[in-house]
A and B are shown apart, each in its own frame.
Chain A
Amino acid sequence: MIRVFHLYKNYLPTVAVLQDVSFKLEAGDFVFLTGPSGAGKTTLLRLLFAAERPKSGQILINGKNITSFSRRRIAHVRRSIGVVFQDFKLITYRTVFDNVALVLEISGTPRNEIKKRVWKVLKLVGIEQKLYRYPLELSGGEQQRVAIARALVNEPQIILADEPTGNLDFEITTEIMNILNNVNAQGTTVMLATHNQLLLQKFKRKVFTLHNGMLHEDVLPKEDQ
């Protein structure tokens, strides 16, 4: 599903954000990506959905090395990856329906099909009654559900979530984790970046820890142990 080989990323010539990161994720895996702030969690996720290019190394999604892809091919790869952001990244002048439908419109899905699928996914995340509201009329938790619905609506094989519960209280965090767990139970690979230790303790999953740009599997960050 995802294979990463010897990945390096620098923002400044002397400051390495990621150093020799390699790992593999199979279909149906659920992994937490953790580490202190600035450890490179967001950078790693951005590399996985090709928002940035690495200094060196390879990222294989379903056997294809996306680091050498053109813009056009990257756009197509992103349609097979659902991404959830901490700041939701919803288009404020589009309704909940239109925000979620956007992903399907981009790939030219027929309108009737879009209506059915958007309704189904909004029901799954429990926000179907706010179909025609605008994002700024919703609470943080509701906005994050919409963002998750948008990530799920295309039935992607991979979900990448960057601190999806970062600004939310524990009750809503649990609800969002349950949604992601259910999706994962149906075979979707999930990689969730978080520095919330309570989350790691409550939901026992495989953990990747980033420290000084290096990735360690199944290890909790030192300062939190």
Chain B
Amino acid sequence: MNITYLYYLLKSTYQNIRQHLVINLISIFTITFSLVIFGLYSFGYLNLKKTLDDWRTDFQVIVYLQDSISQTQLKSLKHFCKSHPVVSRVVYVDKNKAMQHFRQSLGKDSTLLQGLKGNPLPASLELQLKSEVQGMQAVESLVGRIRQQPGVDELQYGQQWLNHFFSIMRLLHIFGLGVTGFLFFVTIFIVSNTIKLSFYSRRDAIDIMELVGATRFYIAIPYLLEGLFQGLIASLLSVAAVYGIYYYLVAWLQRSFPFLQGMVSLTFFTPRMLGGFIILGVLLGGLGFLVSFKWIRGN
């Protein structure tokens, strides 16, 4: 394809868009609307997943040690825990530190501890798990193996909480996949129908072009470009709309629920996600065109 030919295709695209401005605006509005819904859903999903991930970061397996544990056993246990694939961090809390933490947590009531003789609190290892850990099996295998190590007294890891957490995450993934697929098909359906309408309104022009010797390629390319253009504009508009909603939501949360500050923080899409979102919009426009063009050819 030479430059002259490309120029004519672009000119034809421009003429199509200019002449059918209303239909184009309807298409752009439709795609924008679908993308905003999709964007809001993705935004909600992203933040829910982030919050759950944050909670998981706080999750720890605490290994209480026997008072009789030797230095060699302790060293070997630390090494075992550090080298385990699901563990990201190991912190050793000795008996004194444990007491210090306990005092701090009691605050004013720490005077209660004044009559206490000696230090009854055990030393412990606090294990933080990697965020990639996806199921209970990995955690239970870790716990089981630590339990067999010498010098280990007891383990605490909130089994029930963890079970719920993984169930929620699994549901979220399945639901997310389902909703994403559904929204995607609904959007393609709406977009292709809008483009079908636009084809109908230009059927005469398409017939005339065929009669004077235009190939299918020459006729179709301006419509494809039009679809991609609509997708691009719609995705930019929807990003702006979702950002606007995010901006006002954050301001509203800060104003209405100041106590939530620090506990809940909303995140917007990363630049990479935004790029993907815009590409998705452009592809939707193009795909909508392809579906309707196939339909037009069939008729």
Contact = CB atoms under 8 A, between A and B. Distances in A.
B213 A108 contact: no
A138 to B, nearest CB: 16
A90 B209 CA distance: 10
Contact of B208 (A76, A91, A109): A91
Interface stretch (A99-107, A196-204, A211-219): A99-107
Contacts of A98: 15
A179 B212 CA distance: 20
A53 interface: no
A76 B204 CA distance: 20
Contacts of B212: 78-79, 83, 102-103, 106, 150
Contacts of B205: 91-93
Interface string B198-237: 0000001101111111111010000000000000000000
B160 interface: no
B19 interface: yes
Chain B at the A interface: mostly helix, strand, loop or mixed?
Answer: helix
Nearest to A94: B15
Contacts of B209: 91, 102, 106
B259 interface: no
B213 A79 contact: yes
Most buried by B among A71, A105, A107: A105
A102 B213 CA distance: 10
A110 interface: yes
B68 to A, nearest CB: 89
B213 A75 contact: yes
Interface in A58-79: 71-72, 75-79
Interface residues of A, number: 27
Interface in A100-136: 102-103, 105-111
Contacts of A92: 205
Interface of B: 2, 4-5, 7-8, 11-12, 15, 19, 204-205, 207-216, 218
Interface of A: 49, 51, 71-72, 75-79, 83, 89-94, 98, 102-103, 105-111, 150
17 contacts: A72-B215, A72-B216, A75-B213, A75-B214, A76-B213, A77-B213, A83-B212, A89-B204, A90-B208, A93-B19, A102-B214, A103-B212, A105-B8, A106-B209, A108-B2, A111-B4, A150-B212
Given A79-B212, A91-B209, 17 more contacts: A51-B211, A71-B215, A72-B216, A75-B213, A75-B215, A77-B213, A78-B212, A79-B213, A89-B204, A89-B211, A91-B208, A93-B205, A98-B15, A103-B213, A105-B12, A106-B8, A110-B4
